[in-house]
Amino acid sequence: MIKVGIVGGTGYTGVELLRLLARHSGVSLQAVTSRKEAGMKVAEMYSSLRGWVDLVFSTPEEARLTECDVVFFATPNGIAMQQARELLDAGVKVIDLAADYRIKDLAEWSKWYGMQHASPELVEEAVYGLPEINRAAIKGARLIANPGCYPTAVQLGFLPLIEAGVIDTTSLIADCKSGVSGAGRKAEVGSLFAEAGDNFKAYGVAGHRHLPEIRQGLARAAGASVDLTFVPHLTPLIRGIHATLYAKLTKDVDLQALFELRYQNEAFVDVLPAGSHPETRSVRGANTCRIAVHRPQGGDTVVVLSAIDNLVKGAAGQAVQNMNILFDLPESMGLDIVPLLP
């Protein structure tokens, strides 16, 4: 059994990790931390976990994380970077759901995240945990930078086109919508029901911190820098991300065949039949990204639609997928979930 610790078990990605790991037959949950709720039973805070998780929250200081095989950080940006070194030195693998190790360019990271990096020497070593492009590197890694939610949906949508060299990478557009759980469980006026419910708005148009992460991933696939306009929107959903991606075709190709071939061996990317429109409810609670590719009126614009659950393929599910790869377990272990609908 793989001994697992979670730092930040009271937040939305933390409780999602607990939900997934509770049914994972290859792991044993050892410790879940909370600074504020230490001493409280996990199932007392989250009754959905009664009968599934029999742990009590401990403070990050009390949790014996160095005795785990792997520790997930489901914490705000800037926490894992302070603690990863000690865990790695103790032989513990680390999967960070935040952005501490996602951006290789340290100056760029500091510019977007507004802090100095506390363990810059680990940034180069960290492996970006998008299995569909990095599976081999993830296998041998000690430290995984789990991708952001928007970057997962956007990269999976653009990658087949960029890898095949069939689009102009200087004019990419990603028009994305997220549910409110993407902002986490912390109290914020913008996440209040009366603010986010029955409302729809764009944000971060001038610049969002996921822009450099997406650009980095797409540039790596293209072998050159890419130019991307990324506009996130907040929708009155609880879970879900929907990305509508636009690019100009430079070659005449069978787009449906291209996407089907690219993802034919990927358990968690589902290319829908031509003409389809993926819905966020078709992936709710599951680690699946559903994609459809369109070429409206046979013109030179390609439109890709990509839908994920931000808390699963966009965070905790992808983190479990990475853990399975790290420990040579079947990649789908604990992740064979039918989406919840309606």
Ligand X SMILES: CC(=O)N[C@@H](CCC(=O)OP(=O)(O)O)C(=O)O
Ligand Y SMILES: NC(=O)C1=CN([C@@H]2O[C@H](COP(=O)(O)OP(=O)(O)OC[C@H]3O[C@@H](n4cnc5c(N)ncnc54)[C@H](OP(=O)(O)O)[C@@H]3O)[C@@H](O)[C@H]2O)C=CC1
Interacting residue ranges for ligand Y, rule: CB under 6 A: 7-14, 34-37, 60, 74-77, 79, 97-98, 148-149, 181-182, 184-186, 310-311, 314-315
- Least distance from ligand Y to the Cβ atom of residue 264, Å: 27
Nearer to ligand X, 37 or 213 (CB): 213
- Distance separating the N- and C-terminal Cα atoms of the chain: 35
CB 165 to ligand Y: min, Å:
30
Q: Judged by CB under 6 A, does residue 212 bind ligand X? A: no
List the beta bridge partners of residue 116.
Answer: none
Smallest distance from the beta carbon of 118 to ligand X, in angstroms? 17
Residue 174 interaction partner, one of ligand X, ligand Y, none, beta carbon < 5-8 Å per kind: none
**Chain mean position to CA 16:** 12
Q: Residue 262 or 290: which CB sits closer to ligand Y?
A: 290
**Contact residues for 98 (Cβ-Cβ < 8 A; gap 6+):** 73, 75, 76, 77, 78, 79, 80
For residues 51 to 80, the per-residue mask of contacts with ligand X, x marking binding by CB under 6 A and - elsewhere, is --------------------------x---
Considering CB under 6 A, how many residues would be counted as binding ligand X?
Answer: 11
Residue 14 sits in the site that holds ligand X (CB under 6 A):
no
**CA-atom Rg of the chain in angstroms:** 19
CB nearer to ligand Y: pick between 69 and 309:
309
145 strand-pairing partners: 96, 128
Nearer of residues 153 and 255 to ligand X, judged by Cβ = 153
Nearer to ligand X, 72 or 259 (CB): 72
Q: Which does 68 bind (CB under 5 to 8 A by kind): ligand X, ligand Y, none?
A: none
Query: For residue 186, what is the DSSP state?
Result: S
Question: Do the beta carbons of residue 68 and residue 4 sit within 8 Å?
Answer: yes
Is residue 182 involved in binding ligand X (CB under 6 A)? yes
By CB atoms closer than 10 A (0-12, 13-18, 19+), residue 140 is exposed
The DSSP-derived string for 40-73 is SBHHHH-GGGTTT---B-B-TTTS-GGGSSEEEE
319 binds ligand X (CB under 6 A): no
Q: Which is nearer to ligand Y, 11 or 334 (CB)?
A: 11
**Gap between the Cα atoms of 333 and 188, Å rounded:** 35
Q: With contact defined as beta carbons under 8 Å apart, do 313 and 258 qualify? A: no
Rule CB under 6 A: choose which of 178, 280, 282, 306 binds ligand X. Answer: 178
β-strand pairing of 289-294 with 27-32? unpaired
**Closest CB to ligand Y belongs to which residue?**
11
Q: Does 317 bind ligand X (CB under 6 A)?
A: no
User: Does residue 98 bind ligand X (CB under 6 A)?
Assistant: yes
234 contact, one of ligand Y, ligand X, none, CB 5-8 Å limit per kind? ligand X
- As annotated, the active-site residues are 149
Between the CA of residue 276 and those of 130, 256, 272, what are the distances in Å? 25, 11, 6
Give CA torsion, residues 321, 316, 149, 117, to 10 deg.
-100
Choosing from 65, 99, 122, 144, the residue that interacts with ligand X (CB under 6 A) is 99
Distance of closest approach, residue 169 Cβ to ligand Y, in angstroms: 25
Give the integer Cα–Cα distance in Å for 269 and 287. 9
When CB distances are held under 5 to 8 angstroms depending on the partner's kind, the choice from ligand Y, ligand X, none that residue 267 binds is: none
How many secondary structure helices (H) and strands (E) does the chain include?
Answer: 10, 13
Q: Which residues bind ligand X (CB under 6 A)?
A: 77, 98-99, 148-149, 178, 182-183, 210, 232, 234
